[in-house]
Amino acid sequence: MTGLRRVLVANRGEIAVRIVRACHAAGVEAVAVYSDADENARWVQLADEAVHIGRSAAQKSYLDSDALLKAARSADVEAVHPGYGFLSENAAFARAIVEAGLVFVGPPPSAMEQMGDKAAARRAAQAAGVPVVPGSGPVDDPEDAVRVAEEVGYPLLVKAAAGGGGRGIRPVADAAELVDVLPGARAEARSAFGDGTVYLERAVPGARHVEVQVLADEHGNVVHLFERDCSVQRRRQKLLEEAPASDLRESTRQAITSAAVRLAGHVGYRNAGTVEFLVDSDENFYFIEMNTRVQVEHPITEAITGVDVIAEQLRIAGGAALTLEQDSVERRGVAIEMRINAEDPERDFAPTPGEITALHLPGGPGVRVDTGIVRGDRISPFYDSLIAKLICWGADREQAYARAGQALAEFHVGGVASTISLHRRLTADPRLRAGPVHTGWLEESRAGD
Amino acid sequence: MSTVEAHVPGVFYRRPSPDAAPFIEAGSVVEAGQTIALIEIMKTFNEVKADKSCRVSKILLDDGDEVDVGQTMFEVDEP
């Protein structure tokens, strides 16, 4: 039992479908929301009730917190699940939900604020004894920045304090470039995140991106569900993820997962969250940020642990104690997730909105497809480009990649270009199949192709 | 008088960022190749550029409006 009766799913697409399903499996009613463009969408049809919240442009619907609060009141729900993206990491929205007497299916707004400000998150990590990449506090004028940069060391990254999801990051090689980049970085941070604060962080060349999934309840229990390797990226956007991180020493795995648990405990975290690290070639690891929401790639963690992360989110939000103890969380096999996006890899990943004229989804042992799309739907220009997530599990890496290859061979999307072709090449690439790659690998290898 | 139509569907923006000044105002004279608007499509931003020197007499959309392929965004005159 979750302790909840009726939940508003304040999102769209595959994650809305995923949350509606988890609600129903837990005996909870689910109320969907939809914009003009999504009136006939799959999650709307699966839900017990659906509320129209506005125009197609996200600013006028899924990003309109007043419209969502109004929907929650009119549908008489007791909780709101924000999914990922949109308002999921917006502390003001979470606070408004709580002040309306409703349950926010996520962390307390105070923990979101602390982790949402990257400079504050770094300080929290240091206070919790978690290593961070050498870096600075907020930097203001160029003179100050150059002085601080000498201590941090080049090459470095200028990062937006309020940034996230790989956005608001600029690489810098030397002082001249830093002075050049700073005004633009501040302006970009202000316009993208509403806060122009930036800070400096040393670049860690050749590092892997490894992140730890944690769950925490209001009774002081925190567990981790092991780690994911998300190093296959393009322009800092994840394309393919794997769990667990391959070829990681057991001592490193233990250290990194316990660091994540320590940080979550230190900041009074609650619900599902992810602590992100860079891991260098010597397996030194450094905290970079915490995502205070469920993530796109949570299914690979579910595949290797058997834990239903969304169901746990609902239980925790309902006030229940975690039924999981750390010793009871077992890791089995290897899982890969591939993001099938409506983008054309042959035309520099140009977005390809349009009607899905055909859709053949793969199946078989160890194969899971999460999607909010059915044949005949339109991939709308108003939202992100995710068509589906393909998750393949195997007893080991070799079987997981073999199943991924077969699933991709079966997977067909008609009407729009997609990243299926890219994933076919990637999952057959001997360099990726041989073991871990670093975060710059995909772009370097594509440049060399 | 001629018009400028959208080549892609998405969300129309008159300014480079929420707190910046608009690219142009009604009555602005623009050069060929000058950026006059943005269209956001799946979280990527496409610049709308003037294809000739002209005076923009009318702006038919507001910031954040939805725009479809072929929809008229501007009316323009020879300068």
- Here the CATH number for the domain that contains residue A377 is 3.30.470.20
The pLDDT score that the predictor gives to residue A449 is: 57
User: Is the pLDDT reported for residue A283 higher than 90?
Assistant: yes
Nearest to A351 among B44, B64, B65 (CB): B44
Those of residues 23-52 in B touching chain A at CB distance below 8 A are 40-44
Residue with the bigger pLDDT between A162 and A405: it is A405
Query: What Rg, from alpha-carbon coordinates, does chain A have?
Result: 21
| Residues of A with Cβ-Cβ distance to B42 under 8 angstroms | 342-343, 351, 353, 381-385
Span A37-93, pLDDT tens digits: 999 999 999 999 999 999 999 999 999 999 999 999 999 999 999 999 999 999 999
Residue A161 has pLDDT above 70, yes or no: yes
Q: In what order do the strands lie in the sheet with B2-5?
A: B2-5, B72-77, B54-59, B29-30
Highest mean pLDDT among A1-15, A184-198, A405-419: A405-419
Under 8 Å between Cβ of A244 and A230 = no
For residue B26, pLDDT over 90 is answered with yes
Chain A residue nearest residue B69, CA to CA: A381
A190 contacts B19? CB cut-off 8 A: yes
Domain end point (choices A202, A218, A239): A202
Residue A32 placed within a domain: yes
**CATH number of the domain to which A22 belongs:** 3.40.50.20
pLDDT of A274 over the 60 cut: yes
B contacts of A353 (beta carbons < 8 Å): 9, 41-42
CATH at A156? 3.30.1490.20
Same structural domain for residues A77 and A139? no
Tell me, yes or no, whether A81 and A142 share the same domain: no
Closest CA relative to residue B11, chosen from B50, B34, B43: B43
Looking at this protein, which amino acid is placed at residue B71?
Q
The percent of residues in chain A predicted with pLDDT above 90, rounded, is: 87
- Please say whether the beta carbons of A317 and A311 come within 8 A: no
Q: Do A225 and A256 fall within a single domain?
A: yes
Pick from A59, A191, A383: which is nearest to B64 by CB? A59
Looking at domain B2-77, which CATH architecture does it have? Beta Barrel (2.40)
Could you tell me the pLDDT band of residue A367, with boundaries at 50, 70 and 90? very high
SS3 assignment, position A448: helix
- For chain B, give every domain's residue range: 2-77
Inter-residue contact B35 to B55 (CB < 8 Å):
no
Can you give the pLDDT at residue A222? 98
Average pLDDT, chain B: 92
Does A128 reside within a domain?
A: no
Distance from CA of B4 to the nearest CA of A (A): 20
CA atoms within 13 A on the CB side of A373: 31
CB A314 within 8 A of CB A305: no
Question: Which chain B residues touch A382 with a CB distance below 8 Å?
Answer: 10-11, 42, 66
A12, A293, A315, A368: the catalytic one is: A293
* One domain for residues A19 and A92: yes
CA atoms within 13 A on the CB side of A408: 25
Reported as a single tens digit per residue, the pLDDT across B47-60 is 999 999 999 999 99
| A342/A312 same-domain check | yes
Looking only at the bridges linking them, the beta strands covering A103-104 and A79-81 are parallel
From CA A196, how far away is CA A410, in angstroms rounded? 46
Residue A293 falls in the annotated catalytic set: yes
Confidence of residue A33 (pLDDT cuts 50, 70, 90): very high
Do residues A351 and A417 both lie within one domain? Answer: yes
pLDDT at A205: 87
Terminal CA-CA length for chain B: 11
Same domain for A269 and A398, yes or no, is yes
Is A316's pLDDT higher than 60? yes
According to the model, what pLDDT value does residue A196 have? 86
Residue B17: per-residue pLDDT: 81
Domain end position, chosen among A150, A183, A202: A202
Q: Which of A55, A188, A381 minimises the CB distance to B10?
A: A381
- Interface predicted TM-score (ipTM) of this complex, two decimals: 0.81
Q: Which of A187, A202, A217 is where one domain is finished? A: A202
Contacts by A401-410, CB closer than 8 A, 24 or more apart: A401/A336, A401/A427, A401/A433, A403/A364, A403/A365, A403/A366, A403/A367, A404/A336, A404/A338, A406/A362, A406/A364, A407/A362, A407/A364, A407/A367, A408/A338, A408/A362, A409/A362, A410/A360, A410/A361, A410/A362, A410/A363
Domain residues for the domain of A12 are 6-105
Residues A360 and A441 reside in one and the same domain: yes
Option in A60, A188, A353 nearest B41 (CB): A353
Number of compact structural domains in chain A: 3
Residues 6+ apart with CB under 8 A from A14: A370, A371, A372, A373, A386, A388, A389
Distance CA A162, CA A203 (A): 19
- Which pair of structure tokens corresponds to residue A263? 């940080």
B60 CB burial (10 A radius; 0-12, 13-18, 19+)? middle
What is the predicted pLDDT for the residue at A254? 98
Looking at the structure, tell me whether residues A43 and A142 fall in a common domain.
Answer: no
CA dist A135 to A145, A177, B49, Å?
11, 17, 40
Quickly state the pLDDT bin for A163 (edges 50, 70, 90). confident
Task: State the average pLDDT for chain A.
Answer: 94
Looking at residue A406, its pLDDT comes to: 98
Percentage of residues in chain A with pLDDT exceeding 70? Answer: 98
Determine the pLDDT at residue A189: 82
A372, pLDDT greater than 90:
yes
What is the band of A195 on the pLDDT scale with cuts at 50, 70, 90?
confident
Both A194 and A215 in one domain: the answer is no
Residue A123 lies in a domain: no
Verify that A172 and A285 share a domain, yes or no: no
Asked if A140 contacts A178 with a C-beta cutoff of 8 angstroms, the reply is: no
pLDDT value at position A228?
98
| A117 falls within a domain | no
DSSP assigned state of A415: S
Contacts of A154 (CB under 8 A, 6+ apart): A172, A173, A174, A175, A202
* pLDDT higher than 70, residue A109: yes
Examine the domain organization and report whether A146 and A249 are in the same domain: no
Inter-chain contact B42–A342, Cβ cutoff 8 Å? yes
Q: Report yes or no on A243 lying in a domain.
A: yes
The reply to whether A402 falls in a domain is yes
Residue B38: which of B76, B65, B1 has the closest Cα?
B65
